[in-house]
Structure 1
């Protein structure tokens, strides 16, 4: 392999790497010669720049930058936990006294909402109507049961939303990376 070089733009940001034998830098490109070790370091650690013809390592992140990064990561973790929480199956007791666990994923919620709205318009569920529990057991359901199950799912979502909101407020108010990382679902 040949001599390595780093091409840079008018701000000093490195835009390309070249090798004199494999891919020489085009004429007119601003580039400096670098060692193989420098090239490996730059490739594995983005952020190097060129200042006054010299390779310059990126500045270490400030405490504020580290805190902001930790807050962003923890907020994303809370968002993922929230997305899972609002789709957890719910336990529900029908007017007939049957307690079962019912699915509450997005698809199940959509079907339940459509059935609830449709049977509200019709005024009642048909004779022999049932809803399937999470284990596929058919459970006799009335219109009141459809509404109650939907309310149970909405209550679960509301509780999860409130928890998410509170946790994200705690994350935003945290003043250290350790404090941010201690906030979990």
Structure 2
């Protein structure tokens, strides 16, 4: 094992590690020489959710993750909303099937209406003030 190097991009984010013996730094890559101990510390920290970037002295260091961007927050909220809708799809389907069969329904008419209103409230979230920093509406009590 040879000398360790940390490659970084124009923003100072560490993009990879190199070893002078096993994987020399390519000519087009900007890298800084680091100790084997620092390399191990950085690898361990990244495994615990930290990000690696250059510090004020130009050396790789561990930092807390950056907060999600607004677009990432919106993506996460859409995924939560879509999951809540998918979790109730079967109730809508069952109710409609039971109505078509004509043997009665598991949900009452009021429960089905509450379910539909809940699902519409989920769909309306993206247009609500404060999107994506909102909470999902509460599901009706009978939705488990």
Q: TM-score range by the shorter chain?
A: 0.5 to 0.7
1:49 is aligned to: 53
Retained in 2: the 8 A contact 1:5–1:17?
Answer: yes
Matches within 5 A, 1:1-185: 1-27=1-27, 29-43=29-43, 44=46, 45=49, 47-50=51-54, 53-58=58-63, 61=66, 65=67, 73-88=76-91, 89-90=94-95, 92-93=98-99, 98-99=103-104, 158-165=116-123, 169=128, 172=131, 180=135, 185=139
Q: Structure 2 CA distance, aligned partners of 1:90 and 1:25?
A: 63
The SS at the match of 1:2 is coil
1:137 is aligned to: none
Q: Give structure 1 stretches of 5+ with no counterpart.
A: 102-153
Shift of 1:5: 0.6
Retained in 2: the 8 A contact 1:71–1:171?
Answer: no
With CA pairs under 8 Å and 6+ residues apart, which has the higher RCO, 1 or 2? 1
Retained in 2: the 8 A contact 1:3–1:20?
Answer: yes
Shift of 1:56: 3.9
Aligned residues: 124
TM-score of the two chains, using structure 1 as the length reference: 0.46
C-alpha change, 1:32 and 1:46, in structure 2 (3 Å) is same
Which structure: larger Rg?
1
RMSD of equivalent CA atoms: 4.2
